[in-house]
Amino acid sequence: MAETENRLGTMPIGKLLAVMSVPMMISMFIQALYNVVDSIFVARISEEALAAVGLAYPMQNVITAIGVGTGVGITALVPRSLGRGDMEMANRAANVQNLLSLCYSVLFVLIGLFFTAPYFRMQTQDPAIVSAGISYMRIVCMVSIGAFFGQGLEKLLVATGNSALSMISQASGAVINIIFDPLLIFGVGPFPKMGVAGAAVATVFGQMVAAALALFFNLQKNKAVRLRLEYMVPRLTVLKGIYAVGVPSMLTVGLSSAMSYCINQIFLAVGTTATALFGVWLKLQSFGFMPVFGMNNGGIAILSYNYGAKRMDRVKATMRLSLKVGVGVTFCVMLLYIFFTRTLLGLFNASENMMALGMTAIRICAVSMPMGACTFVFSASFQSLGRSRNTLFVNCCRQLFILVPVAWLLSLTGNVTLIWIAFPLAELATMLIAITLSRRLMRRLEANT
C-alpha cells in the first residue's frame, strides 16, 4: 500500500501517467478491437444481421454504463481514501462493488427474459432483424455477470496502482472473444454454427474469463486493499461515495444508449443501410477513443489521489499531459479514418450502397475525434475533482441536447449525407463548454487551496 501511495504522490507525472495508463490503453485498445471484430464477422452473415447488432447496442451499452459507472466510482473513491489514510473506507468500497455487481447481474437476467423481444419490435418490423437481434441481446443480458464483475474488479486493480494486471485480464477476455467469434458464428470444426447468437456467446465467454482473472489478481496480488466477506455489507457512506461519482458516470455512458436509440430512429426512416452504417461508425468511434478512455482510467486514480492530498500542481500537470496525449492519439486516428475509409468499410463487407454513403459519412465523423478527446479528458478531471455533475452536463450536451436535435433538423432536408455533419458540430460545441467549465473549476479550487 505504501508503495502504491508513494507512486501516486511522488513519481514524475509523465512517467506515472505512462505507468498507470499505457497498460489500460493497450487493454482497452484490444477490447475495442474485439468489438470491431464482432461486427466484422456478423457483417459476413448479412446487412440485416449487422443492423440487428447495431440496434442491440443501446441496451448492451446500458450494461457497460452500469459496470463502468460503478467501477469509476471505485477508481475515484479508493485512491482518494488511500490519499487521506482512510483504510476502512478503501476496503469497504473495494468489497461492496462485488455485491453491487451480483445485484446488477440478477436484474439483467430478468431484462433478458422479458424485455428483449418488445425492445426490438418497437424499433422495426423487419423479421430478419428482429430474430437476429433477440437471439443476440438475450444472451448478452442474461449472462452479463462477467461484464459486471469484470468491470468492477478491473477498475479496483487500476485504483490501487495495478494497471498492468488489469490490462492482462481485459486483454485475455478480448483474445478469447476474437478467437471464438468465427468458430461459433460460422461453425468451424466441432463448434456449432450459431450465427449472430455465436457472437453473443463469444462475448460473454470472454467477459467471464476476464472477470475470473481480475478476481484472481485482486486476491493474490493486490496489497493495497483486501477482499473480505465482512466488508461486503453495504454502508450508506460507502454507497454514497461510490455513486456520487458512479451515477453521473453511468448516466454519461448510458447517454450513448439514448443517443444511439434516437439516431437509429432517424436513420431507420432513411433505410437499413444507413442504420447499419451508423452501427459501423459507433464501433470505429469506440475503437478510436479507447486509448483515451484507457489513459483517463489511469489518470482518474492520479487526479483523485493528489486532489485528496491537496497537490494541485500535480493535478494540473496531469490534466495538461492528458490533453496533449489524447489529442495527439485521436488526430492520428482521424487521419487513419480519412485516408483508409474504403479499406475500413471493406472489412465490414460493405455493399455498394453502403460504400457510396460511407465514404463521405466516415470522413465527416472522423473530424470530430480530436475534439471528443478533449471533452473526455475534461470529463475525467471533473469526476476526479468531485464535480461529476459537470461531467453529466457536458455529456448530455454532447450526446442529447446538441447532437440529436441537430441531426433531426438536418434529416428534414432529405439529404442523408447532411445528417452526419451533426457529429462534428456537437463535438465542437461540447468541447467549448467543457473548456469553460474546467477553467472556472480550476480557479475555484486554486483559490481554496
Q: What is the mean pLDDT of residues 88-105?
A: 86
Q: What is the mean pLDDT of residues 309-329?
A: 90
Q: Alpha-carbon distance 379 to 67, whole Å?
A: 18
Contacts of 51 (CB under 8 A, 6+ apart): 126, 129, 272, 275, 276, 279
Residue 58's pLDDT band (boundaries 50, 70, 90)? confident
**pLDDT one-digit tens code per residue, 201-234:** 999 999 999 999 999 998 888 777 777 777 777 7
Place of cell 465514404: 359
Residue 184's pLDDT band (boundaries 50, 70, 90)? very high
Spell 7-39 as b/e; 16+ CB within 10 A means b. bbbebebeebbbbbbbbbbbbbbbbbbbbbbbb
Residue 449's pLDDT band (boundaries 50, 70, 90)? low
pLDDT at 1: 47
pLDDT at 6: 58
Q: What is the mean pLDDT of residues 165-187?
A: 89
pLDDT at 363: 97
**pLDDT one-digit tens code per residue, 358-385:** 999 999 999 999 999 999 999 989 978 8
Residues 278, 263: contact at Cβ < 8 Å?
Answer: yes
Question: Shortest CA distance to 207 belongs to which of 111, 104, 302?
Answer: 104
Q: What is the mean pLDDT of residues 375-404?
A: 88
Q: What is the mean pLDDT of residues 7-30?
A: 78
Question: Shortest CA distance to 43 belongs to which of 359, 273, 362?
Answer: 273
pLDDT at 405: 95
pLDDT greater than 60 at residue 5: no
Question: Which amino acid, 25?
Answer: M
pLDDT greater than 60 at residue 264: yes
**pLDDT one-digit tens code per residue, 274-289:** 888 998 898 899 889 9
pLDDT at 34: 65
Residue 348's pLDDT band (boundaries 50, 70, 90)? confident
Average pLDDT of the chain, as a whole number = 86
Q: Which of 135-149, 156-170, 175-189 has the lowest average pLDDT?
A: 156-170
Q: What is the mean pLDDT of residues 347-362?
A: 90
Q: How far is CA 265 from CA 123, 169, 292, 445, in A?
A: 7, 36, 29, 43
Q: How far is CA 422 from CA 374, 405, 419, in A?
A: 18, 9, 6
Q: Alpha-carbon distance 380 to 426, whole Å?
A: 19
Most confident of 89-93, 119-123, 245-249: 119-123
